[in-house]
Amino acid sequence: MWFLRESSENFFNVSPDCLYLTFIYTEIIVEEKEDSLLSGVKEIARRAKVSRATVDRVIHNRPGVSLKTKNRINAIIEELEYQPNVLAQRLALTSRGILRLAVLLPDISQETEYWKAPLEGINKAETEIKQYGLQVDYYFFDQNEQAVFAEQVRLIMENKPDGVLITPTFETESIALLSYCKAKKIPCVLMNSDIPGQQRLCYIGPELFDSGYLSAQLVHYCLKEKQKVMIVNIAREIENNVAILRKEEGFLAYFKEKLSEDLLVSLNTTDTSYPAVAGKLNELLQEEYHVGVIYVTNSRVSLVAKWLESIGRNDIILIGYDYLDSNIEFLKKGIIDFLLCEKPQEQGYRSVMTLFQFLVFSTVVKEDYLIPIDIITSANYRYYRN
Amino acid sequence: MWFLRESSENFFNVSPDCLYLTFIYTEIIVEEKEDSLLSGVKEIARRAKVSRATVDRVIHNRPGVSLKTKNRINAIIEELEYQPNVLAQRLALTSRGILRLAVLLPDISQETEYWKAPLEGINKAETEIKQYGLQVDYYFFDQNEQAVFAEQVRLIMENKPDGVLITPTFETESIALLSYCKAKKIPCVLMNSDIPGQQRLCYIGPELFDSGYLSAQLVHYCLKEKQKVMIVNIAREIENNVAILRKEEGFLAYFKEKLSEDLLVSLNTTDTSYPAVAGKLNELLQEEYHVGVIYVTNSRVSLVAKWLESIGRNDIILIGYDYLDSNIEFLKKGIIDFLLCEKPQEQGYRSVMTLFQFLVFSTVVKEDYLIPIDIITSANYRYYRN
DNA sequence: CTGAAAGCGCTTACAG
DNA sequence: CTGAAAGCGCTTACAG
């Protein structure tokens, strides 16, 4: 029988598509049929002539075992290539007390449909791990209300959770929470956007710079001669919005590198209502009628799509973000051409699962799980999975 | 506490990115803290004043329970919103006999590096389920040897496996195997390409027609005026290769719909060596020097890339398939522009896991798990996960 | 430093 | 038609 050896230990593997990173390919070997009936703690104990409790101590490197027995047991473990049965492990741990995870997320509002997806992923993870003694407490905030964010951070600290998951929308307060976690040795996962240089369990989300860079590359492929490119930021807060700034940086970097910044026309609006956006666009298009491609730096791309539709311009290529119903509608119609997506549901799911694994199994967590940057068009959106 | 209700039952959930399909969003509700300590078979038995064995019978719809007790127990199950602990379930089943899965796959040869990835996914799944009583037996064949394929099919039938996973490279023999499985009630998963109209547990792989269609769409975005498009098939067997034919169909469909078939130049070669491919390309380019985009219908795109590099033409856009080292090299260099990928590792992993879940937990299997069609460029390949 | 025993929640012969 | 008991493989008080 042929198989590839790997460092297993991930029964609770969260995703087949993380194979690419976790899979440690070593060699193809021929396995000798091992008497799999005789492995397990029991068999080790039998061979070492000790009790199962002692074997357990050695396996988990707990104190209270003489070096001699320890060595003896370890030898047998090696010989048997012992792999713990994760099922049994977890079942036995069921009796332990409840662990509480604090999750700090933006509200799901009309304006920010986006956050529904990460929340769904978190909810899904929650239902899966609930019966194993984990509890998730939610703290929501309005993305335009820094004070609420601060208050929620305070509450989290007050409640002394066992693990924390946040989207670090406001940097100062986020850093305060991270320091708190560090001091209390509480693992903290950052999701969706990162704060560089901070200590945390890990970051789970996209590499935003490259997301902007990729957009520029797509623009380049679509750009015809003598055309200009419009980059549009639509958000109440632009200056403080880490995500937007990083994407813009990547986008500009590409233009500096391969094209020219002279091709770029910028449009910023902190009024996110449709009339405001449309008004600004109309104005700008008067001056710059050679625009061939528009890049919108976030999920608000449907506003621009609506405008393009209203003025009957479907010759302009439109690129934006996120698999939202409103965006998909325009994608189908051919008004939006490309949507970049970063699996928001998976981000939420994986973040919680990472905390779970870390807390319950002391699984080593690789820093920074960078989510793929997916390109969605009208021809492949049907098969996309958030 | 807020959470989304869903039909859970997928602790063994293979992927967070399958959320989009499996997640049944119903409503946001406020949960009353339930006394989670008192659910479980034991509690049900206590309330119904029966033994746990009887409760088990009802849960699994096994015969031998009076209608009266059955109803009583079911009422309590409803009331408690009982969810079985999948961990315990599986652990208890460990004592059952071994189940054998037969996997029929192309060899990993020099020529077909592609098949390494699905095999890795299968291997991964194997190591995860091995300790729960599953065994995977591999049957390999040379893609150019129909006779070997037939022989392996015969062997599989002889060995009477409990589950079957095949890539149906040769249709006749595949259909024979499917009939056998149907007769013996053995679940069979088709992977990577489908045979329409056949009974099987499910198909796991891409929608190949749309894969070709998507390629054409990308071509369209990149195509400049007066340029032509070359479509290249490189395979020993083209006429019988379902995958290639379907993609080509989709590709042509797009051109008929949105552009014109007159723009297309075709190149087929059943000699897959570099000199042969380069020779044919040289010849054709002499006649058709307006080619602006080349679409290669499979992973052999690196041969074309090598040729483009050798003649110093990096103005031609090149689109092909699969995340292979050789292809990624040319992607980085900017010679290949787009690679379409269909998560081959995940296909393998998910196929085995599906059989596992079906056999061990009688999980209902949705027909046809269609893998996303991913677009990879030099700007996002770093984050791709096979 | 070590072990006997009970427990995690579910399943399954076996006996009645 | 129903139940008592043992078992899946691991962990953990508790006792010594």
Q: What is the DSSP string of B303-336?
A: HHHHHHHHTT--SSEEEEE---HHHHHHHHHTSS
Residues of chain A with CATH 3.40.50.2300: 99-206+344-372, 208-341
What is the arrangement of strands in the sheet containing A374-376, beginning at the earlier edge strand? Answer: A264-269, A228-234, A291-296, A317-321, A338-341, A374-376
> Nearest nucleotide to A45 by CA–C1' distance?
C3
pTM: 0.80
The rounded distance, in Å, linking the Cα atoms of A385 and B9 is 19
Token readout for A296 is 């919108």
- Chain A residues in contact with B120 by the CB 8 A cut-off are 4, 19, 23, 25
Token readout for A5 is 């050896």
A373 touches chain B (CB under 8 A): yes
What b/e readout covers A92-128, taking b as 16+ CB neighbours within 10 angstroms? eeeeeeebebbbbbbbbeeebbbbbbbbbbbbbbbbb
The rounded distance, in Å, linking the Cα atoms of B132 and B262 is 57
Residues of chain B with CATH 1.10.260.40: 2-93
Interface test with A, best of B131, B137, B226 (most A CBs within 10 A): B131
Q: What CATH number labels B99-206+344-372?
A: 3.40.50.2300
Tens place of pLDDT per residue across chain B (386 aa):
222 222 222 323 333 332 222 222 222 222 333 444 567 898 899 899 999 999 999 988 888 888 889 999 999 998 888 888 877 887 887 766 678 899 999 998 766 788 999 999 999 888 878 777 788 999 999 888 889 999 999 999 998 898 999 999 888 999 999 999 999 889 999 999 888 888 899 999 999 999 999 999 999 999 998 899 999 999 888 887 888 999 999 999 999 999 999 999 999 999 999 999 999 999 998 888 889 999 999 999 999 999 999 999 989 999 999 999 999 999 999 999 999 999 999 999 999 989 987 887 667 777 789 999 999 999 999 999 88
B8 touches chain A (CB under 8 A): yes
Phi/psi at B235 (5° precision) = -170, 150
Cα dihedral angle (B24, B26, B32, B34), rounded to 10 degrees?
-30
Q: How far is CA A181 from the centre of its chain?
A: 20
The rounded distance, in Å, linking the Cα atoms of A6 and B341 is 24
- Chain A residues in contact with B315 by the CB 8 A cut-off are none
Q: Class of the B208-341 domain?
A: alpha beta
pLDDT given for residue A242 in this prediction: 81
What separation in angstroms does the CA of A319 have from each of A10, A304, B198?
38, 10, 40
Of B20, B91, B120, the CB nearest to A88: B91
pLDDT given for residue B361 in this prediction: 67
Q: Dump pLDDT digits (tens) for A101-127.
A: 999 999 987 667 889 999 999 998 888
Q: Does pLDDT of A306 surpass 90?
A: yes
Q: Evaluate whether B193 touches B208 at the Cβ level (below 8 Å).
A: yes
Token readout for B2 is 């807020």
Sequence-distant (6+) residues with CB within 8 A of B102 are B137, B139, B156, B159, B161, B163, B164, B165
Tell which CATH classification among 3.40.50.720, 1.10.3720.10, 3.40.640.10, 1.10.260.40 matches the domain A2-93. Answer: 1.10.260.40
What is the rounded end-to-end Cα distance, in angstroms, of chain A?
A: 36
**Residue B22 burial (C-beta neighbours within 10 Å; 0-12, 13-18, 19+):** middle
The rounded distance, in Å, linking the Cα atoms of A61 and A260 is 59
> Nearest nucleotide to A56 by CA–C1' distance?
D11
Considering only CA atoms, name the residue closest to the C1' of nucleotide D7: B92
Q: Evaluate whether A373 touches A250 at the Cβ level (below 8 Å).
A: no
Interface test with B, best of A17, A340, A368 (most B CBs within 10 A): A17
Helix/strand/coil for B347: helix
Within 7 Å of a protein beta carbon, the nucleotides of strand D are 1-14
The Cβ of residue A221 has, within 10 Å, a number of other Cβ atoms equal to: 17
- Give A16's strand partners: none
Q: How far is the CA of B64 from the C1' of D2 (A)?
A: 9
Return the half-sphere exposure (C-beta side, CA atoms, 13 A cut-off) of residue A246. Answer: 14
A87 touches chain B (CB under 8 A): yes
pLDDT given for residue A364 in this prediction: 72
Q: What percentage of residues in chain A have a pLDDT greater than 90? A: 58
Considering only CA atoms, name the residue closest to the C1' of nucleotide D5: B53
Provide the pLDDT confidence category of residue A7 given band limits of 50, 70 and 90. Answer: very low
B134 touches chain A (CB under 8 A): no
Considering only CA atoms, name the residue closest to the C1' of nucleotide C4: A51
Sequence-distant (6+) residues with CB within 8 A of A83 are A8, A9, A39, B131
The Cβ of residue B170 has, within 10 Å, a number of other Cβ atoms equal to: 21
Sequence-distant (6+) residues with CB within 8 A of A143 are A106, A107, A112, A169, A236, A237
Q: Which of B312, B300, B317 is nearest to B377 (CA)?
A: B317
Q: Does pLDDT of A143 surpass 70?
A: yes
Strand boundaries in A8-81, DSSP class E: 28-30
What is the rounded end-to-end Cα distance, in angstroms, of chain B?
A: 36
Q: Residue B219: in which H helix or E strand, if any? A: helix B208-222
The rounded distance, in Å, linking the Cα atoms of B373 and A382 is 9
Token readout for A214 is 């990729």
- Chain B residues in contact with A11 by the CB 8 A cut-off are 128
